[in-house]
């Protein structure tokens, strides 16, 4: 079930990227068009998504059994 947070992170990253593009006016659709507030929100969402993807894709260290 490790893949669920990774998929969520990828979807979150795509959503944040759309918000950045809408806020900067590159993708001028909807009420977020040309509003820099949504660009900043999109940057924060993308940073969170990258952190989530990196955190969930790291391998866990195997602890040797105690003797």
Predicted confidence at residue 58, as pLDDT, reads 83
pLDDT values of the chain reduced to their tens digit, one per residue, 67 residues? 778 999 999 999 999 999 999 999 998 888 989 999 999 999 999 999 999 999 988 877 777 777 7
Predicted confidence at residue 19, as pLDDT, reads 95
Alpha carbons 38 and 20: distance in angstroms, whole number:
6
Q: Based on the structure, what is the number of domains in the chain?
A: 1
| Domain assignment present for 62 | no
SS (H, E, C) the chain: CCHHHHHHHHHHHHHHHHHHHHHHCCCCCCCCCCCHHHHHHHHHHHHHHHHHHHHHHCCCCCCCCCC
| Domain assignment present for 10 | yes
| Domain assignment present for 31 | yes
**Domain range spanning residue 25?**
3-57
């Amino acid at each position: 079930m490790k893949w669920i947070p990774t998929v969520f992170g990828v979807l979150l990253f795509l959503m944040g990227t759309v918000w950045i593009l809408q806020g900067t006016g590159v993708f001028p659709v909807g009420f977020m068009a040309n509003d820099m507030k949504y660009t900043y929100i999109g940057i924060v969402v993308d940073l969170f998504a990258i952190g989530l993807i990196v955190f969930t894709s790291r391998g866990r260290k195997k602890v040797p059994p105690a003797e």
